[in-house]
Amino acid sequence: MTELLSETGRETMLAPLFEAGWTMVEGRDAITKTYQFDNFVEAFGFMTRAALWAEKWDHHPEWFNVYKTVEVTLSTHDAGGLSALDAKLARKMDQLAG
């Protein structure tokens, strides 16, 4: 069972993500970010690479793709909110998106 982020965890792990363009989802303990790529192949390539990390970590994004835009929402369903895994996957996605 994955634990919800503590207050300290939120300050240390989420603050840098907010700096990097992630925001809280309204009315829900989840974070979201919209990535814009140059074209569909770049967007889908990002999703493919992120999917492999998600599967490896058994932690999966909610996401929505239209052409070169990918809208991502991260939350831990098992915990009913944000856990350290969401921060970890968010950092990986930023890295993959370059």
Ligand X SMILES: C[C@H](O)[C@H](O)[C@H]1CNC2=NC(N)=NC(=O)C2=N1
Binding residues for ligand X (CB under 6 A): 58-60, 76-78
Instruction: Take residue 61 and report the two structure tokens written for it.
Output: 């994004």
Question: Where do we find the tokens 């992120």?
Answer: 50
The distance of closest approach from Cβ of residue 84 to ligand X in the complex, given in angstroms and rounded to an integer, is: 12
Task: Provide the minimum distance between the beta carbon of 1 and ligand X in the complex, in angstroms, as a whole number.
Answer: 9
Closest to ligand X by CB, 43 vs 74, is 74
Choose between 33 and 59: whose C-beta lies nearer to ligand X. 59
CA 66 to mean position of chain CA atoms = 17
In degrees, rounded to 5, the angle at the alpha carbon of residue 40 between the alpha carbons of residues 20 and 86 is 35
Of 21 and 80, which has the nearer Cβ to ligand X? 80
32, 23 Cβ separation under 8 angstroms: yes
User: Cβ of residue 30: shortest distance to ligand X, in angstroms?
Assistant: 9
